[in-house]
Amino acid sequence: MNENKLVHWFKYASPQSFYPLAGKMIPWFWALTAVFGIAGLWISFFVAPTDAQQGEGYRIIFIHVPTSWMSMFIYIVLACWAGLGLALNTRLSGMMAQALAPTGALMAFLSLWTGAFWGKPMWGTWWVWDARLTSELILLFLYLGFIALQAAIDDPRRADKAGAILALVGVVNVPIIYFSVKWWNTLHQGSSVSMTKSPSMATTMLWGMLLMALCFWMYSIAVALMRVRAIILEREAHTEWVKLLDEVKS
């Protein structure tokens, strides 16, 4: 029974099988994005109390922190997909890594800019060569480098392998971002949410941040699924099933 279930799920490693499954999941993830986003924004900007030290300006962290989390998480997932494709030579793995990269780059970009908007009134400057800020900037460059490298190589399989090597090497930067405030003397404040101790913020603030994190998470999945479907059609254009799909659509 377990073997049958394993075989059932393993079939979705094929782009042909995954394409319709992704299409069915996309509306659900967009719906969850809307639900979590509306609830998160309402709590973050209208329910959560004003911070005693930072005033109303602190509310940008409800965008900044979740995008920072997602920029690191997406990179790890991207590297896992890329590594899986490199090890097992599965076609879908490289496509998923390619689909995730632009969204990860967007999250890193938003993390840096919202951090700058928060840092200007709090630190008096838009940017400092702080360990966490610098390592997050390096993460953005890794995303852009991955995208550029894949675009520069015409053969998709060679592009996947080259991108996978870059992605796997770049993984070392993720723990550097996370632990930078502990390893070095930085301006950036420590984590407000931890797995090992109670959060150092009001409960409503925590709920707002977690709901916004779920919103960005659902958004990232929805966009990645939409993008991977486009990549599948592009790469599999020579196959009979895509030709048949085009005929059905027309």
**pLDDT at res. 6:** 43
Please give the Cα distance from 205 to 213 (Å, whole number): 12
**pLDDT at res. 196:** 44
Q: How many helices (H) and strands (E) does the chain have?
A: 9, 0
Please give the Cα distance from 63 to 20 (Å, whole number): 32
Structural domain boundaries of the chain?
39-48+63-192+200-245
Of how many residues is the chain composed? 250
**pLDDT at res. 74:** 97
Phi/psi of residue 55, nearest 5 degrees = 70, -150
**pLDDT at res. 1:** 44
DSSP 51: B
Please give the Cα distance from 170 to 168 (Å, whole number): 5
Please give the Cα distance from 81 to 73 (Å, whole number): 13
Please give the Cα distance from 64 to 113 (Å, whole number): 8
Residues of the chain with pLDDT under 50: 1, 6-8, 194-196, 198
**pLDDT at res. 192:** 55
Pull the structure tokens for residue 182.
């502990």
What is the pTM (predicted TM-score) of this model? 0.86
Please give the Cα distance from 220 to 37 (Å, whole number): 13
**pLDDT at res. 119:** 72
